[in-house]
Each structure stands twice: as C-alpha cells, then as structure tokens.
Chains A and B, each alone.
Chain A
C-alpha cells in the first residue's frame, strides 16, 4: 500500500470533481445513512464544507437483502426515509432502501405539494417536519412561559449556545417533546430512524438560517423518554423503536475506526481517485484508473491517510442486580456507540441509555447458501447518562462545605417511586411501620430499633460561619449480653445504610479505622490510605466487638465522632480527611454478662470521653424473664411451622425502605419550628433541673449541651421519617423519650435511681463521689485521731475496722479505703508503704 505523504483534505481540494460530495460526509455502510445523507444535502450552506462527522446510524449491514417491494410516494424515491416496514416486519428495513439517487432530486422533493408518507404508515413527512419545526421554535419551559412570552424558546437558546460553543449535538428532553406535541413524541418513539433524520434536517435548516457559515453538523440527541424498558422485556416488537434502558457497562471494545470514504491512488500515474463511498459495508475498489491518460487496469491502491474514518465502539450493557428475578442471571445487550459517545462510559458505570433497538441477521458465512434464521440485536445509542454508582444515594445535600462540582444528576427517583414513597410517608403509623420493618426477624427491642431508624435518617449537619461544625450524624452504642442479636442488628443496618463499612473491633487497628500513611515501595512517596471510617464518609460505620478493640484504636475515634474528620500528621503529609460517619458500635459488658450491681462504666469498660460521644447508648440485657422466653419460643415455633405468607405482616420490603431512607436523606431537610424549639428548651431545662431536686444537696448533672445537640439531631431525624420539612413538637417529645429510654438504661445511677450524666461524662456518679468524699473525711479524721505523727505505722485493715465501727452507711470496701488513703498521701498527710500507713 502506498502512503500519501501529503495528507491534504480532499474536501477542500478544488480539483476534486466531487459533484455530489456529501455535505455530511457520512458514508455509511447502511443505506439508512445514505438516506440521511441525502436528506441533509438540503442544507445549502453546508455544501461546500462538509462537516467531519455524521449520522449516528452507522451499522454494519450484515445482510444485503434489498427489497424491491418498498417504495414510498409518487416521487418519493429521493425520500428514502419513506421506506418503512410495518412494525411487525423483520428489522432489516434499514437495508431495504434503494441505491442513493442523484441528489438533485432531493431539493425538488422538499417543496413538493403532495405529501410523502413514511412507508406503511400514515406519518406524513411534511407534517412531522413542521411539527418539529414548531417544537424547536416555540417550546418554552412552563414556568417561564407565563411571564415572559418573548423569551427565546428553550431549544432555540440551546442551538445558539451550541453554535457559540461549536458543539455537535443538542440534547432534547423527550419529556419536552411529549409536553409540546404528544403526537410527535409517539411518532418519534415508533419510527425513530425516520423522525430523527427529519429532526436533523430541521435542525440543520435552523442552524444554517442563523449562521450560514456554521459548518459542523449538529445532531439531535433524545434522552429522558417517558417510559424506560427493562432489558429483560425487550422483545421483537421493540425492534426499530426508540427505547430507554438502565444498566451497567460491563465491557467496552477498543475503538474501531470505521471507514466512511476511501481514496485510491493509481500506482502507475499517481492519480488520485474520487473518494469512494462505503456502500453496504463494502468499498468497491476501482478496477481501472480513471485518468484518461493512464487507464491502467488493477492499478488502484488504497491511501489510508486520505480515507475518512469514524469512531465506533461496541459496549456491553448488563442488567443491574435489582432487576434480576430470583433464580436468573443478568441479561446483556450490545450498544453501538459512535463518535462522541465513544468512551462515554467505562466498565462498571451505571448508565441510562436512550437508543434505537436494532437487529441484524446473522450471516453464517459468505459461502453459505442458507441464511441463518437468527438475528443479533443491538442498540444504536443516541444518548448516555451516568447514574449513581451505588444503589443508594449517599450524598447529603445539606453539605455546606461547598464542593460544587458534585454531580447534579445523581439519582433521580422516578416519579412513580417518589409518589409511592410520599404516599407511604403520609400514613399516620409510618414511624411504627418503619420500626416494624427494620430487622423484622429480630423481635422486641422496639426502642432500640427506633433509635437505629433515627440514625439511618440522620439529622442535619451544620456548618457555622466561624468554621465550627455540628455533626448531623447520630452515634449509637449497643451494650448487651451475648446472644441478644446485637450483631444481627448491626449487619442489618450495614445492609441498609447508604454507605458503610462493617468491621469488627478485634480485627481493627487504629490506622485501619482512620487512615494511614505508607511509603510507596517503588517511588518512595508517602501515600495516604483511607481506613474504614473515612471510607464510610456519609454513611454508617458499624463496629462490632467495640470493647475488644485496642485502646489505641479506640482513642482514634474521639476526633471522628465529634469533629467528623481524621487528621493525619506524619512525615510528609499533614491532612485532614472527612469522616462524616455515624458510628454504630456494639460491645459486650466487661464480664461478658452485664452485672447489674456495677455501674454502666464498670460494665462497659470504655473511657467516658468516648462514651459521651454516643448520642444513644442502649443496654440490651438478656433478662431471665419467662414472658420473653415464651415469646421467643412462640416466635421460633411459628418460624418453623407457619406458612410464611400468613405470617407476613405489612412490612415494608428492604428495597422500599432503602429508597425511602435515601429519598428522605436527599430531599428532606427539616427545620426546627418555633414550637419545637420552645419545647426543646423547656425540656432541657427540666432535665437539668431534675438533678437539683429539693432536699438533695449533691449536684447531679442530668443533661449536658451534648445532649441538647443529640436531641436536635434526633428530632430532625424523626421529622425526616415523616418527610416533613418542619420539626414539630411531637418530634421533640419523642426525641426526649428516646433519649430518656436510652439514658435510663445506661445513665441510671443504680444507687439512687436518677439519671446522672456524670456517669457517662466522668464515669463516676454524683452519689458515688459523695460517698468517696465521706470515706475520705472519715479516714482523715481517724488518722488524725489515732495515728501519731512520726509514730508507728498502722495497717490498712486496722483502719478499715475502725472506719466500719464509726460509719453506719453502706458496707465499706478495702479499695475505697485504699483510694482515700491514696488521696491523703497526695495531700502529704500520710505515707503508704505497702499495707501500712504512716503519718508524716
């Protein structure tokens, strides 16, 4: 093959006798493109400078079976578009067109009075054309139409913009078409090949009327069809129709250059032939040099760099997991991408595509006489839109830190679904129903589930002007006896939460949870790697076996749970990573079983600083209670013997629940109503006052500012559950109740029975502190009385006996005394040597 060293563009070559060189230049294998080409010739200004790319209907026509049977109106042969089979006919109508006719016919046809019809239908080409024209010229979005009639039509505006940007296509929302002209929409969906080609012509007409010099070919791209099909339901009747599908890209072919126009050169006289147009997937090599002086036979050779190619790519789309019925495997479909759509998606992307469902017959082989009766189907892709990656929307739109480049088109819940969800939210018992539907196989634990529900919905995060921020995430700690399905609850929430990591305390290290810095072994650069908490940003981080976590790892959680960031300061890297995550942790009591005689702190053995960062702490105790046991027995028996259908209560299934949560998190941002705010203040004041009940000399803190923040978060979450934009009074009341339930279980001072936040914040209750104070005073008195300065030392046990004689209070332990003596020693009153105390 000879290669031409002067890659001149033959389009601009004046010597080229390109009498009817395509203005669009799309020389496709399929006659369909030729139709399109001819049609587009009608735009005169583009004649001289053909735009580089063309129609999207390129397909490799596999079966060259021209049908003589189909011709359009009287002179409609130029209107190749008129050739159309009835919808039930086999899908190779694209190939049934005749050869392209001399282009001169076309312009005449355009002005002809006799209507031409799309073959086999009553779709008039002229009508469609004018309908599209009026649509483009006149469609305005509803909200602007009322006050501003003179505003430019939406698509005219778009066209202007495209002209300015030198864009190549215009996205047309099918909903707009539907709203403006239902009939046009229906025609477009049923006969997309024809209607879109007309659309393109109209577009080019308009473009050329605006700017005669605009030489690019502008295409129309339809998206957002009224109804989208599932891949599974594509059937023969959809062939040649416009369809919209959701799916996941699983494979992309490499980019295939498809030849559109070929140029040949004579090996003898160096004469360059006219561009040869691809005809039905083939290029006919000229057998003879057309130079009059040469006329050599079989001397022509292809010049690669003067041929024109277009990009093409074949992409495989697979059903998304949620569409696969039980016991099935996902279906796949091939997509044909052209030009700009090439590489628009990568494997793994979830996309919604709009395209034309096509089929081509399978040639068994060139030598075969019998055509295989099979069709291979594919979709000529018109438009591709990426949808979100994960099944749920993890985005919290209340995000205030201004990352504006977040993609707008995340998940758009389709209207029906939203309607359904809203319907659901209007039910009066929605709160209870959601609670019931949460882990339905775990019975009881109503309040715990309610707390978890609040965690799922979450409150609003707040960023103040000063830069300080308030988290909206609710942290929950479950403490309980083994075998009380804590882990199951955790697993369930993990499954449901928008994003999240499930980890077990025992297997987590500090860096595994937060982030760590490593040296890249090859480059030696320091690299930051995210841990579980950072990865579950905007989600829920479930930590099982919280108590078995190393102290080092736990201490890392302090920052995360209040500031919601992870800061790293290591050689080379100082960074602060976002970790806006809710923490759901569960722990076993320190003695594996909860000891009711010990305080919560003693039972849990967690540092109080960390404990106070949990909004709700639930104690799930396995009470030896015959009632519960009986319920358990009944539950299990029914599990084994009852018909599963009859046992089905009105649970909301997992999918709906997920959608409900996602929708609420995304779209509902409740605000405190005045009434609710009032209630909140009142309640808080009351809660604090409870510590100072008359007759009590000691100071008991029943609530701290952290609690009021928790309360706000909880009430916001409760409003979200109802899809309400306002936090009502009853939300606050319920939040108080939830908090109190959790507090009563965890922060009750078991000696007095009142709630004591000190238990959580310092690990020592007020009454305990009072007692210690008493012991200390008594010890001091005894030592001052009994022990001589510089005299013989006294054994601790003796002191204890002495103390016991004096005090009438509750039993005194040796370690209490030891504590007291240690305090005295620090005061410098005594010295402690092993077991003996000596006054100094």
Chain B
C-alpha cells in the first residue's frame, strides 16, 4: 500500500471515507459489511505502527482540549466508568448513486434525508473518566508528547483560521501559551482537505472553544466503540482510545426542542452529558493499559536478578527509613506493595495481601502515615487515601450507585480500577453511631478486604464486581471493620527524617514494582512437599492455625520470591517468610 493521499492525523474521516470508497469500488455492498470494518482500521494500524506516529497523536486532557480541533485524531486515556449501551446509526446510505458512510462520525457529511437505501449499524457507548487516583508523576509524562504532537500536526496546516480573541484569553496554561507550537495551533484550524471543508455546512463549523466548560481537573469522554467484542472492554478497565474527536455544536440548542416523548427516549446522553462538557471520541483503535504504560521510561527492560536485587535493597532501605527504622514493617510493606489477586476460587481471592499497621495513634499517623502514603503515591500509579470518619461513613455510599433518573452509574469511592492502592486511616474514627448508610459502607469495606469484591448498588438488586485493590490500613488496635490479612504492630525507633530520593531511583523503583508484580510464579514438587510438611508441623504445634494463615504464608512466599525477581519459590525465601511470620507473631504477643 502506498502512502495514503490524506492525513490520518488531521483528517481521519477522510481516510475512513477513502477506504470506504475503495471498498465500494471493488464491488462490495455496504450491507454485506454489517457494520464491520472495510479496511479503514488497517490504514490506521499501519499509520500508528511507527512509534513516532503514536506520539504525534495528541492526548486529550483538560489542558489540550482547547487546542485540539474536532474531527482530528486524538488519544484519550481513561477508565471505563459506565456503559451506556448500544446506539444505532445510519452506517451507510446512498447519496444519489454513490454510497456514503457515517461510521466514526456523529453527523452525516452529506444530506441523507431522502435516501431510501440505508444500512443501520450499531456501536457501543462507553463513558470514560480519567483514572481515579492517578498519581501526579504519571501525568507529567503527557506533556512532552503533547507538544511534540502539536508541533507535527500544526506543521501540516494548509488553511488558517482565526479564533476568537476571547477564546485565546481563556487559555490559561502559561507553558502552552508561550510554546511556539501552541501559537501556531491557535492560528490555524485543522481542516486540510478541501473536500472535507466543502462537505461541512458552514453553520456546523465548530469553534474550538466549545469545550470551555470542561472541568480543570477531570475530563470525561464519551467513547463510541466500533467492531470489538463486548468481552474486550470491561467496567473499570483502563484503556487508551485512539479515535476521531467530534462534537456537534447544535445539540445545545436542540435539547430544549425535544417534545416530551422523544425526550424520555433519549434523555440520557445529550441532556446528562452535554457535548460541550463531554467530548465524543469515535474510537478507531483501543488498547488496554498496564502500569508500564504510565511509567516515564523503561530504564531496564529485562529482569536481571542482580539488578532486581539491588533495586530491592535500595527500596527496602528507603521504606525502612520512612517507617522510622522498623525493618520488619518495611518488609511487610514491600510484600504488600507487590500483591495482586491472581486467581479466584469461588469466594477466595488468591494473592491479596492487605496490611494493617497497628499501634498508630492519631499523632503518629500524621507523621508516619502521611510519610508512607506519600511514598506509596510516588511509587504506584493509582493511589487513594481514605480517612475513615464517622460523618463521612454516614454521609454517602462508597460503592457506585445506579441513578435511574439519569440512567447512569454514579461513581463511588470504591469504583477504582484493578491494581489501585487504597490507604485507609482508621485512627480518625471516633465512637458514635452508624446509620444505615454507614453500616452498609462498613460492610462494603469488610467485603472488599475479605473477598476483594465491591457490590454495586443497582437499587433493585446488587451487582458484585470483582476488584483488585491493595489495602493498607492504619489503626490503633486491630481493625475489625477491615480484617486485613496481615496485622503487624508498628514499632518505629526513630522519627528522623528520610532523605529525598533522586528521580532516577524513583523511576527504577516504579519499574521494579510494576515488573516484578506481574511475574509468573510456580512451585517445584519437592518444595511443595516442604511447604506442606511445614504446615502440618505448624498445625500440630498450634491448633489455632487455619487455612487463612496457610494461605497467607503461601502468598507471602510467592511475593517474597517475586521480589527477588524469581519465578519459583525457593527454600531460602520460604525460610525468610517463616522468619518474618515468627517475628510478627512475637510482636503481636508482646502487645
């Protein structure tokens, strides 16, 4: 395939139409597609296969939203917060003698009112929000790419169009204001193809300022998905969508005009998600994101036991310093940071390792708790902190709740993507009475810690959603609301400050946590024998040990060997786990 005669970046719809016409020319009938792709996606995949091309695609965020032009190719990273069902649209229709397509667009480019030949296709609507609790360090990675992307797209401008002065004044981001690319950006618009130009009625011509109402911190996005199986995109997954940004300015006026009937049919998106607040993205290509995609750079690419061990030592030293020289607690925190649910057998979520640091008073939390939270925030991409207060517990449900008035899922604190870290500070909790909401919230938290599941409230029934959230609990005594897997008395010996860490080290640690966490794990049969023997012996000695304790041991064993970058449990690491357990139990006894 030769170079395409259009610009995928600034005129993606042109590319779509080009491919469509080509498919038509080769004699296919649109109804035969049934909405399936006709080769347009291949064009984009081909275009994006080069790394540089991907970085040229601007990322949609509150800063860039004012700069990108509609009907251009953009990227959006977000969590699927709600699914709004399917939408039927006129996918292809006959305009005179030639077929036209509406795929990847909201409004047809050609008049189609009198066309009897139409194909109705469907697409899915996903409501996405920026990943909740995203750490600040992941966001900074957007900036350089953004400028780069702006640069390259702006160079391709053919026509220029002045924007309202008023709009320019609203651009507050200083950096963008001064950057040359942004200036160019403001001078021009993005419609290079004259064909496209001609086809859009003047009244429709979008002004760039349409998204001015956008919230400064969060930019939701309505993503329209084509050609992908339902099972591929799940609630709370984090995705990167690459697609065509559109909006129709006319809808604002239109909403008032609806008669009651059609209003009740279409109440949802237009009214609840006004296009000037929520941009629409017609997704061409989507990709599930892992933690790695949020790292600045990947300094080390392969798991080298030596390097891994070094990084592990450094990180452990840092954690120990942060925890006031409590080495044992640091070990547990490290294991805790590496945990994830890797298997579910019935109700048992295997692999979770929630940690409860006890012996923390209100005062010490303000020192060590804050420190630890900060460290976690700087290490993991998605972190949350939830101070448990009576009034907050009674105030609002932590779980998402379906609001049938607007037919949307109202997000709750506990609607967070897999792999998030949640710090719960129980020291803030005072004695008092819980009302119905509070009791429900306490139950939710308990279920989350025990089963890693969150019940979503659909009013007439509850829907259980699997979660994978690392829970770190600060409390004075053992927490009963959140029965954690590991309870360890926290015993700092110094309050000395710890030194700031260099960015390179932080990056290495982030990479380490992300990589090591996803390592596969297995057990040799002779090691399995040893483990079983140990368990039997331990149980003979102490009848109170139960399956939960053994389960915890194995999880720790797995994480311990993973933390050294190894994929199978070794004797040495098993011994370390047992020793850690012994020390922990001793501390508990002393208490």
Between B112, B114, B407, B539, the greatest number of chain A beta carbons within 10 A of the residue's beta carbon is seen for B539
The residue from B112, B535, B543, B554 contacting A622, defined by CB atoms under 8 A apart: B543
A463-513 residues at the B interface, CB under 8 angstroms: 483
Asked if B251 contacts A330 (CB within 8 A), the reply is no
- Chain A residues within an 8 Å CB radius of B248: 364, 372
Contacts A331-B86, A630-B532; is A375 near B265 (CB within 8 Å)? no
Between A369, A375, A640, A641, the greatest number of chain B beta carbons within 10 A of the residue's beta carbon is seen for A640
Asked if B253 contacts A367 (CB within 8 A), the reply is yes
Min CB gap B408→A, angstroms: 10
Question: A637: CB under 8 A from chain B?
Answer: yes
Can you list, as one digit per residue, whether each of B327-351 has a CB less than 8 Å from chain A (1) or not (0)?
0000000000000000111111011
- Chain A residues within an 8 Å CB radius of B521: 641
Contacts A253-B264, A373-B105; is A630 near B90 (CB within 8 Å)? no
Asked if A89 contacts B118 (CB within 8 A), the reply is yes
Question: A19: CB under 8 A from chain B?
Answer: no
Asked if A91 contacts B120 (CB within 8 A), the reply is yes
- Chain A residues within an 8 Å CB radius of B266: 362, 376
- Of A59-67, A189-197, A211-219, A723-731, the one with at least 4 CB within 8 A of chain B: A59-67
Asked if B261 contacts A256 (CB within 8 A), the reply is yes
Contacts A364-B248, A441-B347; is A373 near B112 (CB within 8 Å)? yes
Question: A639: CB under 8 A from chain B?
Answer: yes
- Chain B residues within an 8 Å CB radius of A60: 259, 261-262
- Of B138-146, B175-183, B459-467, the one with at least 4 CB within 8 A of chain A: B459-467
B67-116 residues at the A interface, CB under 8 angstroms: 82-83, 85-90, 102, 105-108, 111-114, 116
Alpha-carbon distance A330/B408, docked complex (angstroms)? 11
Contacts A248-B460, A365-B250, A372-B248; is A314 near B265 (CB within 8 Å)? yes
Asked if B88 contacts A374 (CB within 8 A), the reply is yes
Alpha-carbon distance A364/B275, docked complex (angstroms)? 13
- Chain A residues within an 8 Å CB radius of B235: 327-329
Can you list, as one digit per residue, whether each of A623-644 has a CB less than 8 Å from chain B (1) or not (0)?
0101001101111110111001
- Chain A residues within an 8 Å CB radius of B113: 63, 65, 371
Asked if A329 contacts B83 (CB within 8 A), the reply is yes
- Chain B residues within an 8 Å CB radius of A630: 532, 536
Alpha-carbon distance A362/B258, docked complex (angstroms)? 10
Question: B31: CB under 8 A from chain A?
Answer: yes
The residue from B88, B257, B347 contacting A359, defined by CB atoms under 8 A apart: B88
Asked if B262 contacts A365 (CB within 8 A), the reply is no
Alpha-carbon distance A629/B532, docked complex (angstroms)? 9
The residue from A361, A370, A375 contacting B107, defined by CB atoms under 8 A apart: A370
Alpha-carbon distance A374/B264, docked complex (angstroms)? 16
Question: B204: CB under 8 A from chain A?
Answer: yes
- Chain B residues within an 8 Å CB radius of A365: 250-251, 253-254, 257
Asked if B85 contacts A332 (CB within 8 A), the reply is yes
Asked if B102 contacts A373 (CB within 8 A), the reply is yes
- Chain B residues within an 8 Å CB radius of A364: 107, 248, 250-251, 254
Number of residues in B with C-beta < 8 Å to the partner? 86
Min CB gap B445→A, angstroms: 18
Min CB gap B541→A, angstroms: 10
Can you list, as one digit per residue, whether each of A179-201 has a CB less than 8 Å from chain B (1) or not (0)?
00000000000000000000000
- Chain A residues within an 8 Å CB radius of B407: 251, 316, 332
- Of B159-167, B211-219, B475-483, B544-552, the one with at least 4 CB within 8 A of chain A: B544-552
The residue from A236, A328, A639 contacting B122, defined by CB atoms under 8 A apart: A236
Alpha-carbon distance A462/B555, docked complex (angstroms)? 53
Min CB gap B558→A, angstroms: 7
Asked if A314 contacts B201 (CB within 8 A), the reply is no
The residue from B83, B90, B461 contacting A373, defined by CB atoms under 8 A apart: B90
Asked if A624 contacts B540 (CB within 8 A), the reply is yes
Contacts A364-B251, A626-B536; is A250 near B460 (CB within 8 Å)? yes
Could you tell me the dominant secondary structure of chain A's interface residues? loop
Could you tell me the dominant secondary structure of chain B's interface residues? mixed
Question: A378: CB under 8 A from chain B?
Answer: yes
Asked if A327 contacts B237 (CB within 8 A), the reply is yes
- Chain A residues within an 8 Å CB radius of B404: 250-251, 316, 347
Asked if A375 contacts B112 (CB within 8 A), the reply is no
The residue from B108, B234, B345 contacting A328, defined by CB atoms under 8 A apart: B234
Alpha-carbon distance A376/B116, docked complex (angstroms)? 18
Question: A402: CB under 8 A from chain B?
Answer: no
Question: A232: CB under 8 A from chain B?
Answer: yes
Alpha-carbon distance A347/B543, docked complex (angstroms)? 52
Min CB gap A377→B, angstroms: 6
Question: A810: CB under 8 A from chain B?
Answer: no
Interface size class of A (residues with CB under 8 A): 35 or more
Q: Which residue of B has the minimal Cβ distance to A642?
A: B343
Alpha-carbon distance A368/B543, docked complex (angstroms)? 77
Q: Which residue of B has the minimal Cβ distance to A350?
A: B460
The residue from A312, A327, A334, A637 contacting B265, defined by CB atoms under 8 A apart: A334
Q: Which residue of A has the minimal Cβ distance to B101?
A: A373
Asked if B260 contacts A256 (CB within 8 A), the reply is yes
Alpha-carbon distance A364/B554, docked complex (angstroms)? 60
Contacts A250-B460, A331-B85; is A90 near B536 (CB within 8 Å)? no
Can you list, as one digit per residue, whether each of A428-449 has a CB less than 8 Å from chain B (1) or not (0)?
0000000000001100000000
Contacts A334-B265, A637-B528, A640-B350; is A483 near B544 (CB within 8 Å)? yes
- Chain A residues within an 8 Å CB radius of B459: 250
Asked if B83 contacts A369 (CB within 8 A), the reply is no
Question: B290: CB under 8 A from chain A?
Answer: no
Asked if B118 contacts A441 (CB within 8 A), the reply is no
Alpha-carbon distance A372/B90, docked complex (angstroms)? 9
Asked if B88 contacts A632 (CB within 8 A), the reply is no
- Chain B residues within an 8 Å CB radius of A248: 460-461
Contacts A372-B248, A373-B108, A629-B535; is A324 near B463 (CB within 8 Å)? yes
Asked if A359 contacts B120 (CB within 8 A), the reply is yes
- Chain A residues within an 8 Å CB radius of B169: none
Asked if A370 contacts B550 (CB within 8 A), the reply is no
Asked if A629 contacts B540 (CB within 8 A), the reply is yes
Between B106, B231, B346, the greatest number of chain A beta carbons within 10 A of the residue's beta carbon is seen for B346
Alpha-carbon distance A327/B238, docked complex (angstroms)? 13
Contacts A235-B122, A330-B458, A365-B253; is A634 near B116 (CB within 8 Å)? no
Question: B6: CB under 8 A from chain A?
Answer: no
Asked if A65 contacts B350 (CB within 8 A), the reply is no
Q: Which residue of B has the minimal Cβ distance to A281?
A: B259
Question: B173: CB under 8 A from chain A?
Answer: no
Between A236, A329, A626, the greatest number of chain B beta carbons within 10 A of the residue's beta carbon is seen for A329
A241-272 residues at the B interface, CB under 8 angstroms: 248, 250-251, 253, 256
Alpha-carbon distance A630/B535, docked complex (angstroms)? 8
Q: Which residue of A has the minimal Cβ distance to B83?
A: A329
Asked if A368 contacts B550 (CB within 8 A), the reply is no
Question: B121: CB under 8 A from chain A?
Answer: yes
- Chain B residues within an 8 Å CB radius of A483: 544, 546
Alpha-carbon distance A325/B231, docked complex (angstroms)? 8
Asked if A67 contacts B116 (CB within 8 A), the reply is yes
Question: B588: CB under 8 A from chain A?
Answer: no
Question: B496: CB under 8 A from chain A?
Answer: no
- Chain B residues within an 8 Å CB radius of A88: 31, 119
Alpha-carbon distance A622/B540, docked complex (angstroms)? 12
- Chain A residues within an 8 Å CB radius of B112: 371, 373
Beyond the given pairs A69-B116, A364-B251, 5 more chain A to chain B contacts, judged by CB atoms under 8 angstroms and listed by A's residue number, are A329-B409, A360-B262, A371-B113, A373-B89, A641-B554
A–B pairs, 5, beta carbons within 8 Å: A69-B116, A90-B118, A236-B119, A327-B237, A365-B257
Which residues of B are interface residues toward A (Cβ below 8 A)? 31, 35, 82-83, 85-90, 102, 105-108, 111-114, 116-122, 201, 203-204, 230-231, 234-237, 248, 250-251, 253-254, 257, 259-262, 264-266, 343-348, 350-351, 404-405, 407, 409, 458-461, 463, 465-466, 521-523, 528, 531-532, 535-536, 539-540, 543-544, 546-547, 550-551, 554-555, 558
Closest 10 CB pairs between A and B? A327-B234, A365-B254, A633-B535, A90-B118, A375-B88, A236-B120, A633-B532, A373-B102, A441-B346, A373-B90
